[in-house]
Amino acid sequence: MFPQHVLVATDGSEASVEAARVAGRLARVAGGRVTVLSVVLLPPSILDLVDRDAVQEVTALTARELCSGAVDALREVGVEAALETRRTALGIANAVADAARELGCDLIAVGATGASRALVGSVPGRLASVSQSPVLVVPAPAAPLR
């Protein structure tokens, strides 16, 4: 069974761009769709001190920047994507899992850098434990050998 709606959680890293590329190929084969998600972590103290409209604007700009590589990678494989932005004062993994559930996604694709693969408390690892949807963890592309 191929996924009909894939959520790509991106942090702007090479690994998340590769996750978008893989998700796009899966969606294209299945005739499904892709949503690219950026989650911005804002401590509660910041939300109490600043103008909420300014936070909304900065969050949207940050999300577009973080999502640009993933959106470009999806276009390369012939898939257009919807964009979603979430702000959270809690954990990023929980926000991604909540978004997947709310949007009806049946697969979450996320990139794993070398550091996150080594850490048990990484976002991909935590996401796999809190999500109701399957999680596809995609490593960054390997550097070419010389």
Structure confidence at residue 47 (pLDDT): 56
pLDDT for the residue numbered 24: 95
Give the pLDDT score at 29.
92
The structure's pTM equals 0.83
* Total residues belonging to the chain: 146
What token pair was written down for 52?
Answer: 């909420």
Residue ranges, the chain, pLDDT below 70: 1, 43-52, 55, 59, 114-121, 143-146
Residues 6+ apart with CB under 8 A from 122: 112, 115, 116
pLDDT of the residue at 40 = 82
Across-strand partners of 40?
Answer: 87
pLDDT tens across 87-105, in order?
887 789 999 999 999 999 9
Provide the residue ranges of all domains of the chain, joining segments of one domain with +: 5-139
- Average pLDDT over the chain, rounded to whole? 84
pLDDT for position 48: 61
The superfamily in CATH containing domain 5-139 is HUPs (3.40.50.620)
Residue 39 CA to residue 120 CA, distance in Å, equals 20
